[in-house]
Structure 1
Amino acid sequence: MTTPRGPGPDGPAPGGSPTRDVPLVPDREDSWHRVHPISPLVRGWLALAAIAYFFGRDSFESIFRGEPAWMLTEGRGFWAAAILLGVLALLVGGFVLSWWFTRYQVTQEHVRVNSGILFRQHRQARLDRVQAIDVIQPLLGRIFGLAELKFEVADAGESAVRLAYLPLASAQQLRATILARASGAETDPEHPDEIHEAPEHPVLAIPASRVVGATLLSGSTVALAVMVLVLATGTAVGFALDWGSFGVALSALVPGLVAVAAGYWSVFSTAYNFRAAVSPDGIRLRYGLLETRAQTVPPGRVQAVSVTQPLLWRLKDWYRIKVNVAGYGVSAENSGARTTLLPVGTRGDVMQMLALVLPDPGTEDPFGVFSAGLAGKDNDGGFVTSPRRVRWLSFLTWRRNGFAVTRTALLARSGRLWRSLAVVPHERTQSMALHQGPLARRLKLADLQLHTTTGPVRPVVYQMDIATARQLFDEQSARAAAARRQSLPERWLEHRPGQEQDGQQ
C-alpha cells in the first residue's frame, strides 16, 4: 500500500504554493495544503437545490396542468436563462474562491486552518490539547468519497476546528498523524513520514433489531400515546357536546406527530450501525445511517459519565451512556450523538464501555458496585443513601438517591422511574458546591453538585444528610487533589524521564 506524502521536511512545494497532499511529516511555516476542489459543492449543495426549486417549481407545476411554463412565454426564455446562468456563475465563482482561500497545515505543535474570502479567518489549535477527532461523511460526501475532519481542543466550546473536505483515505491518514503527534508518540527518525493508523480491537456492535426496539420504546412512543389519548378524549367530548371539533383536534396534532417522527428518526439514525473499538489512540466510535461519523476520543479525555435507563427500556434492561468530553461544549450538535458513548446496550455492554473510560474501577467487585448503581436501592453495593426523613419529599426516589466512593471515582445514583448513575473520576472533579433550599435547611439536607467540563452529564448527589454531605465535600476535595497529581500528561504516549525507573520500583 502506498502512502500519500506531503512536501517533505526539506521545504514546501515549489514557489511556496499550497498542495493537496496529506502532511505526514511536520510542515514548515510557509508550507500549506488545500482541501479537495469539490469541497464547496458538498458544503453548498443546499444553495443549488434552492435555485433549482425557485426556477423549476412553476415549470414543473405547469407541465402537470398542461400549460406552457410562465418563464418560457412572451419572450421571457432568454432573460430567464440569462438570470439563471448569472446566478450559477456567481455561485460557482464563490465556490472556486472559497476553495482557493481555504488551506491548512499541520506542524509538530499546531494545526492551522485559513479560510474566508472577504472576511478572513485563521484557526490555530495546539495538538497536545486535542480532545477528540471525528471523521464525518455526509450523504453527498459519501457519494464523492470525501470526509470532513473535525477535532475539538480544550476550551474550544462552539468553535471546533473543521477541515472539509478531504478524500476519505487522506482524512483517515491525517487523523492518525494528528493523534500520533498529539500523543507524543516517538516516530522512526529514518522514516518520519511512515505514520500508520493505530490498530484497534473491536469491543461491541449494536444489532439493527435492538436499534429498532430502542426506537419504538423511546420517549417518542410515550409522547405519541399521550397525544392519541388527548385526541381521543377531545373527539369524544366534542361529539358528546356536538362541537364538531375533530378536524381542529386533528390539525393541532400534526405538529406533535412531526416532532414524534423527528424523535424516532434521531434515535434510529444515530444508533444505526453503531460500533465501538479501542486502540492506543483512544476509543473509536462509528455510527450513522445517511451521515456516517468515525469518532476518536483520546485516553483520559472523558470527564464524566452518565448511565440512564428510560422507563420503557426497563422491559429489556437496556441503558444509554452519555459523557462529558473537554472541548465539546453544549451546542445542539454536541448535545446529541457526539456525547453518546453507547446509544443502547445491555448491562454487559455498559460494563464493557465503563471499563474503557475507567480502566481501574478502584474496587474489588466492580460488577456488584456498578450494578447496584444501575438498578439497586438502599445500601446495595456500599451506597450511602438519603436519610429516612426524606421520604416525605421524595417518596419514590429516596431509597435510590445515594453515592458510593471507590479509589478512583465517585458514583452518584438517582431516579426511580428514570434511573440514572453518574460516574466522575476523582482527577476530573474541578469544583463542588453544596445546595440547600428552604425545606432542605429545615430537614437538615443538602445536595452536592460536582463540576466537570460542560456537557450533558451533571453529577449531583441528592438529598444527603447535611453532616454526610459536608464530610463528602471535604473528602472528595482531598481525593481530587491527590488524583490530579498522579494523572496522565496531555501527551499520553510521550516518554518522560524517570518513567522507567518509576515502573521498576
Structure 2
Amino acid sequence: MPYAGGAGLPPFPGPPGGPVEPRRRLHPLSPVLHGAKSLVVVIAGLSWSTLSRVGFGWFAALVVIFVLGATVLSIVSWWNTGYHVVGRELRVHEGLLWRRTRAIPLERLQAVEVVRPLLAQLTGLAELRLEVVGGGKTEAPLAYLSVAEATALRQRLLAVAGRPPQPVPADTPPALVPAGAAPVPPPAPAGRRLHTVRNADLLVSQLLTPQAFLLPFGVAFVVAQFLSEGSWSFIAVASTLTAMAGVLLQPVRRVLDDWGFRLDREDGTLRVRNGLLETRVQTVPLHRVQTVGVTWPLLWRMKGWLRLRLEVAGYSAAEPDDRNRPDRLLPVGDAGTAALVVAEVLPGVRLDALPSTPPPRRARWLRPLSRRAVGAGLDEQVFVARAGLLTRRLTLVPYARIQSVRVTQGPAQRRLRLATVHADTAGGSGAAAPDRDLGEAWELAAELTARAHAARHDGRGRRR
C-alpha cells in the first residue's frame, strides 16, 4: 500500500539483535475524515448569535478558515503518526514539535474492537480501539485504517497477546479476509441467541424519558412567549430549535447506539451487536463481569420495562465516552426477559426472589422519603443492594468479585449509630448498603468478607 512502509518516519530501535519492523501510517483519507468531523464542531461552536452579528458571508468564511486549519493540522498529524509491533508491544508514534511514543504491552490486552462510524462506513474505513488492563481510557484508537488492514492488525495483536486468532465473520467479503486469518466458520456453531431487542420497543422507551415527555410542554411555553411578544425572528427560532435538539440529544443517541441490539452467548462470553450509524461488535468474557445493575425508570414501570447494565473488569470507568465500555446487557425489556438474561450471566440467581431489608426506623431522619426504597441482603450467590425512589435501582455483586469491604460513618450517622457498608470490585463502583444499624453493619461486613474469601477459593468462584 502506498501509505505503508513509514516514508519520512525513521525506524524505532526494536529488541536488541532483532529485525526492525518499518512503521506504517494511517490511511491517507484519515485527515479528510477528521476535517469533516471538525466541520460539525466548528459550526456548533460558532452558534447562531455569531451568524446574526457577522452575517452569512463572514460566517461561511470563518467556517472555511477553521475547517482548513483543522484539516492542515490533521494532515501534519497524519504525516507524523506511525505504528508498528516491536516484540510484544504495539508502539504508536505521533507529534511534530513534541514527539510522543506510546508503548502498549500486548500481554495486558483485554480486547481489540473494530468500530465503523458513519463516515468510515461511507469511505470503506474502520477504527481500531484497544482495551488494556488498568488503562485510564480506551488506548490510542488508530483512526483510520482500511477494513482489511484493521482486521489483519486485530488478528495479529490478539495472536501476539497469546490468544488464538478469532474467526473472520461469515459476512466478510473474500477480498477483505486478511492473510493468515482463521477460516470462516460454518453457520451452525455461531452461538446461541439470547435476545433481540425490538426497535419499536427501543423507540417507545426513549419517548418515555423525562426529556421527551416534557418537551411538548416546553414547546408550548416557548410558542406562548413568541405569541405574546410578537417576536418570530430567525435567530430566536433557530436558537430555540437548537436548545430543543440539545434536550433530545441523549434519547436520540441511545436509540442510534442500541438500534438492532442483539445478545448472543458463545461458550464463556457474551457477544453484543448494536448500532445504526456506528456499528459495534463487543465481546464480554463472563468471568470478568463484576456487577449486574437493574434499573426501573419511573415512566417505564407502566409497561413493566427495565434496563440491565454490566460492570466489566479491564474497561475503565473513567472512559469519557461510555459507548466504549461494554456495559449494555439489555437496553429495554420485561421482567421475564431480564430474568433469563441474568440467569445466563449469574447462574442460580433469580430476580424475583432476592432478599432485601430496609434500614432501621431511625434512619428516617436521614432518609425521610426514601428509607423504604433502599435496602440490602445476602443471596446464596450475590450481595444485593437496592436504592432509588423515583428511578429504582438494584445492584448484584457476586461474592467472588468482591475485592474489599469497607464500613464508613458520617457525622450524622455516628449520632444515630448508623453506618454504610461498601463492597468494592475491580471495576470500581461495586455496591453499598447505606444507613444500617452499626452492629448489623459490622456483622454484614464480616459476612461479606467470609463469603468473598470462600467464593474465591472454591471451584465456582475461581476465575478461569
TM-score normalised to structure 1 length:
0.68
Task: Answer yes or no: is 1:220 the counterpart of 2:211.
Answer: yes
| Counterpart selection for 1:209 from 194, 200, 209 | 200
CA separation of 1:317 and 1:227: change in aligned 2, threshold 3 A = same
Structure 2 CA distance for aligned equivalents of residues 36 and 281 of structure 1:
35
Instruction: Give, in angstroms, the shift of residue 461 of structure 1.
Output: 1.3
Structure 1 CA distance for aligned equivalents of residues 371 and 126 of structure 2:
49
What residue in structure 1 maps to residue 128 of structure 2?
Answer: 149
Contact 2:386 2:393 in 1 (8 A): yes
What residue in structure 2 maps to residue 61 of structure 1?
Answer: none
Structure 1 CA distance for aligned equivalents of residues 411 and 134 of structure 2:
36
Instruction: Give, in angstroms, the shift of residue 136 of structure 1.
Output: 1.4
Deviation string for 1:132-170 (max 9, x for gaps)? 433211111001221111121122113523222223344
Contact 1:447 1:460 in 2 (8 A): yes
Task: Answer yes or no: is 1:260 the counterpart of 2:247.
Answer: yes
Structure 2 CA distance for aligned equivalents of residues 229 and 101 of structure 1:
52
What residue in structure 2 maps to residue 460 of structure 1?
Answer: 432
Contact 2:401 2:452 in 1 (8 A): yes
Q: Percent identity?
A: 32
Instruction: Give, in angstroms, the shift of residue 445 of structure 1.
Output: 2.3
Instruction: Give, in angstroms, the shift of residue 317 of structure 1.
Output: 1.6
Structure 1 CA distance for aligned equivalents of residues 341 and 99 of structure 2:
42
CA separation of 1:131 and 1:197: change in aligned 2, threshold 3 A = farther
What residue in structure 2 maps to residue 347 of structure 1?
Answer: 335
Instruction: Give, in angstroms, the shift of residue 130 of structure 1.
Output: 2.7
Structure 1 CA distance for aligned equivalents of residues 125 and 451 of structure 2:
46
Structure ranking higher on relative contact order (CA contacts 8 Å, 6+ apart): 1
CA separation of 1:420 and 1:153: change in aligned 2, threshold 3 A = same
Give matches, 1:327-346, under 5 Å. Answer: 327-334=315-322, 338-346=326-334
Instruction: Give, in angstroms, the shift of residue 49 of structure 1.
Output: 7.5
| Counterpart selection for 2:37 from 43, 46, 52 | 46
What residue in structure 2 maps to residue 435 of structure 1?
Answer: 408
| Counterpart selection for 1:470 from 439, 442, 455 | 442
Task: Answer yes or no: is 1:104 the counterpart of 2:84.
Answer: yes
CA separation of 1:44 and 1:163: change in aligned 2, threshold 3 A = same
Partner AA of 1:466 in structure 2:
L
Task: Answer yes or no: is 1:444 the counterpart of 2:417.
Answer: yes
CA separation of 1:202 and 1:115: change in aligned 2, threshold 3 A = farther
CA separation of 1:33 and 1:211: change in aligned 2, threshold 3 A = same
List runs of 5+ in structure 2 lacking aligned partners.
12-17, 45-55, 167-178
Name which one, 1 or 2, has greater alpha-carbon Rg.
Answer: 1
Structure 1 CA distance for aligned equivalents of residues 150 and 203 of structure 2:
31
What residue in structure 2 maps to residue 378 of structure 1?
Answer: none
Contact 1:273 1:289 in 2 (8 A): yes
CA separation of 1:196 and 1:349: change in aligned 2, threshold 3 A = farther
What residue in structure 1 maps to residue 47 of structure 2?
Answer: none
Q: Counterpart of 2:384 in 1: which secondary structure?
A: strand
Give matches, 1:307-326, under 5 Å. Answer: 307-325=294-312, 326=314
Instruction: Give, in angstroms, the shift of residue 392 of structure 1.
Output: 5.6
Structure 1 CA distance for aligned equivalents of residues 220 and 324 of structure 2:
29
Structure 2 CA distance for aligned equivalents of residues 185 and 272 of structure 1:
30
| Counterpart selection for 1:160 from 139, 150, 155 | 139
Structure 1 CA distance for aligned equivalents of residues 323 and 296 of structure 2:
18
Q: Counterpart of 2:414 in 1: which secondary structure?
A: helix
Instruction: Give, in angstroms, the shift of residue 343 of structure 1.
Output: 1.9
Report the count of equivalent residues. Answer: 422
Structure 2 CA distance for aligned equivalents of residues 89 and 256 of structure 1:
28
Structure 1 CA distance for aligned equivalents of residues 456 and 184 of structure 2:
30
Structure 2 CA distance for aligned equivalents of residues 200 and 176 of structure 1:
20
Contact 2:138 2:319 in 1 (8 A): no
Contact 1:277 1:285 in 2 (8 A): yes
Deviation string for 1:89-131 (max 9, x for gaps)? 9956962761563223275x44333333333332233334233
CA separation of 1:28 and 1:300: change in aligned 2, threshold 3 A = farther
Contact 1:430 1:452 in 2 (8 A): yes
Q: Counterpart of 2:287 in 1: which secondary structure?
A: coil
Structure 2 CA distance for aligned equivalents of residues 146 and 221 of structure 1:
34
Structure 2 CA distance for aligned equivalents of residues 264 and 439 of structure 1:
38
Q: Counterpart of 1:332 in 2: which secondary structure?
A: coil
What residue in structure 1 maps to residue 169 of structure 2?
Answer: none
